[in-house]
Structure 1
Amino acid sequence: MNGVDDQRDFGFEERMRELLAEDAHSVQPSPAPYPAIRRRGLAERRQRVAVTGAVLATLAAVPVGAYAVAGGNGARGADTAAPRPSVGAPRTPTAQASGTAGADTASGGQLLDGVTAEQAADGLEKCLAYDDAKPSGGLEKDYLGDAGDYRMLLAMRSTGDTNSPGDGIYVVAVKEKTDVRLICTIKGGEASGINVSSPDAGPTGLVVSDINGGKLYQQSFLDKGNWKLPFRWGVIGTVEPSVAKVTVSYGDGSATATLDHGWFVAAGILNRQVTVAPHIKGFDATGRLVYDSDTDETYERTLP
């Protein structure tokens, strides 16, 4: 009897396996909502100040909490004042953004606040040497190249805050043929930090603000409501050839950006506290609005 029972049990188990296999093949998972996942992924990607892996990010000597970005897209409200008339025009070597006090380099990069081309170049060299000298922690390091490999986009004063005390200068440069972008921080004549990113790691579009460019237009969230004023701000990002003009309004001022080899650069002076990020617009050659950061789901419209 035991032999018969064993055979019956074996047959029952075999049949159960067949039925389970048939059920497994008949179950079809619902398709993933790719558009929604992609939009959410892009928005979350822009919430990071330092992006690991996808973005080549090197943030040096920056304490925890620096330039943290709040989640969620805030609606633009009363914090955006009526912009002042902007000064300047794109694609010209002498274009000046509202509130600037400097000169453009031959490539269109803006040198502001009395920063000379020599000082900007020296700062870039120091930042590259600073990055090269940092310990790799046993990992292979990316060699960022020499200063001569880069085109200057912007040099301006930086304002110290509770998170990173001490004023200095920012130097923003792009590596030719690669679009690797550096934001270097110089304080006391020495490099104190460098941020590196690539547009390939972020969203694409007609106008895209730099994924880590917030360090140029905001002070630490620890100082929310108590920023040091007046405050020099800058906004950088990429732009498609079909875009002929980019404007940026921030707080109580506005600027027409300089367009420079696929990048836009705008700067101004902030004279009051803000809670809303810069408002960016792009126009084609006919003057038609083709981009508005207020309708861009990947753009963070609120500040920490």
Structure 2
Amino acid sequence: MNKPYEHPELEELMREMLAQDAYTIQPAPAPYQAIRRRGLAERRRRVAVTGAALAVLAAVPVGAYAVNGGGGRGDADTAAPHPSVSAPHDRAASPSPAPDGPARPATKGQLLDGITFEQAADGLKECLRAEGGHAGGARGLGSANDYRIVLALRSTGDSNSPGDGVDVVAVKAKPAGFRVVCTLEDGVASGISVSSSDAGPPDAGPVLPDVNGGKLYQQSFIDKGHWKLPFRWGVIGTVEPSVAKVTVSYGDTRTTAVLDGEWFVAAGTLNRQVTLAPHIKGYDTAGRLVYDSDTDSTYQRTLP
């Protein structure tokens, strides 16, 4: 006699059904090959996009400039720039500022006496740091990124400021005609001179010599008649777009200035004592004289 609720046939059927269901609900194996193919395709797509981007960057044209002369210590040591494909023929193009420092001058000949751009840029940063206590905070003078270096040259010491060094002239767009002259000795800032075209006369002509630029072309009045020679000098100022040429004569030196944007920049070496300031002339595109410092009532022709 069978036990209550015992049904061997039913139990056997249930075991068979459960075994079949176990195979039915078993998850299918992961599609490894399909996933691998998709990953390889995506990787190739990313490499192709990156390569195309690099090709576009490499194809972007970059303007260049070349110079004649410059860099020496002789009399004819300001550069005569060859205009780039994007620069006007009558003046040099002003480079764009670098992301982490000042912009370069328009020509290599504006960096004299073996001074490199990197040294000039570091010198400017040092002056701004010394003046303001930290880089870029110099009493509203801004950071080095705001400036473009237009001249760097050897600085000859005198009785009032003994010790030779380097002068770095840097300009920025605002306020108009704003510039700093940074003086360094052994890489350490020893002074900074600030000026702008606002300091000039209200009826200024097409050429405006820097009214405080004597720092670059004269020694102390204490040493009058007994300057240390040879003496490296520089002259800076602003010009209107109508001006195509500026010449500067000083003692036994005569040179043609570089027109760097709205600025003119000239330099030379003085080998004899002088009593008169640099003689500056400006010419238009037709070669007509449009400015003469000898007839400029605001220009101090006699050295103090």
Q: TM-score, normalised by structure 1?
A: 0.64
Change (3 A) 1:235 1:264: same
Greater C-alpha radius of gyration:
2
Aligned to 2:199: 201
Distance 1:107 1:128 in 2: 22
Distance in 2 (CA, whole Å) between partners of 1:256 and 1:300 is 21
Gapped regions of structure 2 (runs ≥ 5): 1-64, 82-103
CA contact (8 A) 1:183 1:195 kept: yes
Partners of 1:268 and 1:156 lie apart in 2 by 10
Secondary structure of the 2:243 match is coil
Q: Is the 8 A contact 2:80 2:258 kept in 1?
A: no
Task: Give the whole-Å Cα distance in 2 for the aligned partners of 1:276 and 1:180.
Answer: 26
Number of equivalences:
208
Which of 130, 149, 161 is the aligned partner of 1:164? 161
Distance 2:148 2:211 in 1: 19
Are the aligned partners of 1:230 and 1:270 in contact in 2 as well (CA < 8 Å)?
Answer: yes
Partner of 1:248: 248
Q: Contact conserved, 1:103 with 1:111, CA < 8 A, in 2?
A: no
Q: How has the CA–CA distance of structure 1 residues 93 and 143 changed in structure 2, closer, same or farther, with 3 Å as cutoff?
A: farther
- The alignment status of 1:94 with 2:71, answered yes or no, reads no
In structure 1, the gaps of 5 or more residues are 1-91, 135-140
Higher relative contact order (CA 8 A, sep 6+): 1
The ranges of structure 1 where at least 4 consecutive aligned residues each deviate by more than 3 angstroms after the TM superposition are 95-99, 101-106, 176-179
CA distance in 2, matches of 1:261, 1:99: 21
* Residue 145 (structure 1) shift: 1.1
What CA distance in whole angstroms lies between the structure 1 residues aligned with 2:302 and 2:280?
A: 13
Check the 8 A contact 1:207/1:240 in 2, yes or no.
yes
The AA in structure 2 aligned to 1:238 is T
Q: CA distance change for structure 1 residues 95 and 154 in 2, over 3 Å: closer, same or farther?
A: farther
Structure 1 letter corresponding to 2:259: L
How far off its partner does 1:189 sit?
1.1
Distance 1:106 1:186 in 2: 19
Correspondence for 1:273: 273
State the distance in 2 between where 1:228 and 1:93 align. Answer: 34
The Cα RMSD (Å) is 2.2
8 Å CA contact 1:94–1:108 kept in 2: the answer is: yes
Q: Is the 8 A contact 2:68 2:79 kept in 1?
A: no
Bigger mean CA offset, 199-208 vs 164-173: 199-208
Task: Please state how far the C-alpha of 1:108 moved relative to its aligned partner.
Answer: 3.3
1:151/1:176 contact within 8 Å kept = no
Q: Percent identity, aligned pairs only?
A: 66
2:186 maps to 1:188: yes
The Cα offsets for residues 24-69 of structure 1, whole Å up to 9 and x where unpaired, read as: xxxxxxxxxxxxxxxxxxxxxxxxxxxxxxxxxxxxxxxxxxxxxx
Give CA-to-partner distance per residue, 1:45-101, whole Å, 9 cap, x none.
xxxxxxxxxxxxxxxxxxxxxxxxxxxxxxxxxxxxxxxxxxxxxxx7525564428
Query: Which residue in 2 is equivalent to 1:236?
Result: 236
2:129 paired with 1:152: no
Post-superposition offset of 1:102 = 8.6
**103 and 185 in structure 1: CA distance in 2 versus 1, 3 angstrom threshold:** farther
Mapping of residues 49-88 of structure 1, within 5 Å: none
Aligned to 2:26: none
Deviation at 1:201, TM superposition (A): 2.5
Q: Helix, strand or coil for the counterpart of 1:300? A: coil
CA distance in 1, matches of 2:258, 2:140: 29
Q: Deviations over 1:247-275 (max 9, x none)?
A: 00000011100001111000001000000
Is residue 2:294 matched to residue 1:299?
A: no
SS in 1 for 2:67: coil
Q: In structure 2, how many angstroms separate the alpha carbons of the residues matched to 1:201 and 1:219?
A: 22
**Structure 1 CA distance for aligned equivalents of residues 78 and 240 of structure 2:** 28
Deviates more, 1:142-151 or 1:181-190: 142-151
Q: Which residue type is aligned with residue 232 of structure 2? A: R
